[in-house]
Amino acid sequence: MSKNTEVEAKRVFIGAGCNRVVNNVSWGASGLVSFGAQNAVAIFSPKTAQILTTLPGHKASVNCTHWLPSSKFAFKAKHLDWHYLLSGDTDGVIILWELSTNSNNWRHVLQLPQSHKKGVTCINAFMCSETDAMFASGSSDGVVNVWDVSFPSQPSEECKVSCLDSISADSKAIVTLSLAELPQNPGRFTLAMGGLDNKIKLYCGERTGKFTSVCELKGHTDWIRSLDFSLPTEETTSSIMLVSSSQDKVIRIWKLVLVGDVGSWQREITLASYIEGPVFISGKFTYQVSVESVLIGHEDWVYSVEWQPPVDHHQPLSILSASMDKTMMIWRPEKKTGVWVNVVCVGELSHCALGFYGGHWSPDGVSIMAHGYGGSFHLWRNVSSSKESGNWQMQKVPSGHFAAVTDITWARTGEYLLSVSHDQTTRVFSSWKSDEEDEHWHELARPQVHGHDINCVAMVQGKGNHRFVSGAEEKVVRVFEAPLSFLKTLKHTCAGGEGSILEDLQADVQVLGANMSALGLSQKPIYLHSSSEPLERNGGGEGLETFETVPEAAPVELKEPPIEDQLAFHTLWPESHKLYGHGNELFSLCCDHNGSLVASSCKAQSAAMAEIWLWEVGTWKAVGRLQSHSLTVTHLEFSYDDTLLLSVSRDRHFSVFSIQRTDNGEVSHKLMAKVEAHKRIIWACSWNPFGHQFATSSREKTVKIWSIEKDARVKQVLALPQFGSSVTAVAWTGLDQKEKSGCIAVGMESGLIELWNIKVKETEEGTTATAALALRLEPFMCHVSAVNRLAWRPTEKSESNQSLLRLTSCGDDNCVRVFDFKF
């Protein structure tokens, strides 16, 4: 919570997808999961499937996260007051974070003193005790750093981190690491590294540092992707196992055995003893590494392998693997023969995800989670009591965009959010009815899955079915209508109310859902009464269909939040119209409050391209082309009485057009004013709900308030004090109509959000306005990259005096956020 004398802020929802890199996800002994979402480190709770917070601090994309203690060491960490998290980015920076389990507060502890020269690819740690750990970090230039970290036992103390060693292991990238203590040799450690040369490199060293290379393990025929040492098992303390996976689709299990002390081993040395595998000495003891088993089962690159975490100090013989073939497998040795077999296989049976980048165990070994190519999570939980193969059921997970979120808008009455992104999807988020106190938000549908990055979206207002228009990196505006399956699903959300939805349903929506076209550009309707038999392709079409076939969608009414597989295929909206006219890629869209006109603009370097087009809702004919600007129009908005259209542009001007309807329904428009408002590009604008005043925001870090006077002149009435960074988004909402008071939300390129209270006075002499800072949101609640759009939830006309307001925001950090403010 961010507190202030007047305004309280509460975080309601964060939606974000996972960066598409291996080693990005970590499941901690705390029970929480961490992952990188662009430059933010996001934390989510698998119990509630909600993202709890994002941690700001990295200036580059987050590649890897690792909990201290991770799920592997959960048995050593039953009642810790603090849990720690490491995160590394593509600039080579590693940050240490602290979570207080009592207050659930996060703290940025420190940035590691010595950064990698290139991006961090992996981090792996070994907990020596509750307050003491060693960890290694690998980089894409082949350098591995080994660190020692000690945690405070008293709140007054600080963490101490020191670099024990820096190893130049390879000229190419090191992509995976695993640390372990050598069997029966306390204080001596082994470090396994894998990279692009198909060999596993083993190093040994002491707790105090200096690691030396002891041997290489050969066998894989492609890049090594993942390594994990086991802890000692119940049967034996004189050996540990190492599991490795590779792009050669094979998993290998290696056994590292203590064969004796140095003296006794050297007396018995024969050539035959080396056949088993390489031998090395560390301290007083000799060790040998041999192949224990080779597991073949995956049909594509195996990106990760992980031993099941011990529950009671003993290592279970159970391995989880995740592969690009869209499956995760659990491998265990058979009781009688000891042969390792695949006992569980879970995964997407469809072709929505390209595959899995990594798989992880929960600390108790009852759940497994994968993260996929589409930035998505997939979680299974064993709901049966049998430990053998079990009954693995899919669970709810958070979801969101995996690229910059460019625009966001509320449904007409605020019952859901619609966001669009450079990940080429349009997504609907809403809160679901549940028995809990807090509302839980989930992704409800994915109306558009496209072949181009999407830049802008607008909800069509007015009566009738739910419709939206979206504009992507193409010259066409596309119009979508809600299918019946979505309208029915909406009943199960919090704001689903009975009345309004049922009326919509009776309006006879004949379309159940939509199918994806082969090239992913157009979405075709599925009608209610069409036959359920899939169409016979012409003449059987032997072998011709391999690229073209897209599975038939099966849209249904969803009674609970959908999982990734349903979202990707079965929640599409049919495309009803394409609007042709613009000569370049679409950039901005808006709809008037009456629901009769849509305005659009595209990227432009000339006055001819910078025209704003007006489209009539329903007929979807072009009814106006407004000329004024000479460069891209960055944002458009209709005044609340729909008589004026405001546009702002890269050419540093804003324009106000008057929009009139003649008696026979034709639209006439006239340029009323054009003003050079700022010295740099104007990013955004927003109207006062209670009058003809508006705000503009610019790259020059300013927000200015303007008023249209009685004689139709536009004058500046106020400039807010300069902000800390470029102002990329602004949104004005009304608080009290009688007092003409309102609140302006300001979003910046730095990701920060501020609220300003504003009062407008209209007198005979002209309009004046006063403003005061109401609230600065703390950085942990804000975006970590540029805010692209802010939008206040629409409120009923009757609520003229409001105390609780809801704001949504989207940004370059892949996040969609919802806040509640109490005034």
Residue 510's pLDDT is 72
pLDDT at 269 over 90: no
Residue 171's pLDDT is 83
Residue 143's pLDDT is 94
Of 416, 413, 439, residue with least CA distance to 428: 416
- More confidently predicted of 432 and 359: 359
Report the C-alpha gap between 269 and 274 in whole angstroms: 9
End-to-end CA distance of the chain: 14
pLDDT at 177 over 90: yes
Give the helix ranges, DSSP H, for 120-213: none
Report the C-alpha gap between 359 and 215 in whole angstroms: 28
Residue 86's pLDDT is 96
pLDDT at 264 over 70: no
Of 398, 339, 327, residue with least CA distance to 368: 327
Residue 541's pLDDT is 38
Of 292, 319, 151, 310, residue with least CA distance to 228: 319
Residue 814's pLDDT is 95
pLDDT at 267 over 70: no
Token pair in block for residue 51 = 């993202």
Residue 266's pLDDT is 57
Residue 812's pLDDT is 96
Longest distance between any two alpha carbons in the chain, whole Å = 108
pLDDT tens figures, 666-692: 889 999 999 999 999 999 999 999 999
* Coil, helix or strand at residue 762: strand
**Do residues 446 and 425 make contact, with C-beta atoms less than 8 angstroms apart?**
yes
Average pLDDT over residues 659-672: 87
Of 734, 794, 742, residue with least CA distance to 591: 794
pLDDT at 547 over 50: no
* Coil, helix or strand at residue 265: helix
Report the C-alpha gap between 593 and 459 in whole angstroms: 10
Average pLDDT over residues 296-322: 91
Token pair in block for residue 692 = 């003809």
Token pair in block for residue 696 = 């503009």
Residue 520's pLDDT is 61
DSSP 80-137: -SEEEEEEEETTS-EEEEEEETTT--EEEEEE-SS--SS-EEEEEEEEEETTEEEEEE
Report the C-alpha gap between 659 and 765 in whole angstroms: 27
**Do residues 327 and 298 make contact, with C-beta atoms less than 8 angstroms apart?**
yes
Report the C-alpha gap between 474 and 453 in whole angstroms: 9
Token pair in block for residue 412 = 């007409």
Report the C-alpha gap between 802 and 91 in whole angstroms: 46
Q: Which residues of 172-201 are buried (b: 16+ CB within 10 A; e: fewer)?
A: ebbbbbbbbbbbebeebbbbbbbbbebbbb
Residue 724's pLDDT is 94
pLDDT at 657 over 80: yes
Residue 109 makes CB contacts below 8 A (sequence gap 6+) with: 84, 95, 96, 97, 98, 158, 159
pLDDT tens figures, 377-411: 999 999 887 666 788 999 999 999 999 999 999 99
pLDDT tens figures, 404-459: 999 999 999 888 999 999 999 999 999 987 766 678 899 999 999 888 999 999 99
**Do residues 308 and 361 make contact, with C-beta atoms less than 8 angstroms apart?**
yes
Burial class (CB in 10 A: 0-12, 13-18, 19+), 74: buried
pLDDT tens figures, 186-216: 889 999 999 998 999 999 999 887 899 999 9
Peptide bond into 69 cis (omega under 30): yes
DSSP 303-362: EEEEEPPPSSSS--S-EEEEETTSEEEEEEE-TTT--EEEEEEEE--SSSS--EEEEEE-
Identity of the amino acid at 54 = T
Token pair in block for residue 67 = 């909990």
Report the C-alpha gap between 321 and 245 in whole angstroms: 8
pLDDT tens figures, 208-255: 878 999 999 999 999 999 999 999 876 778 889 999 999 999 999 999
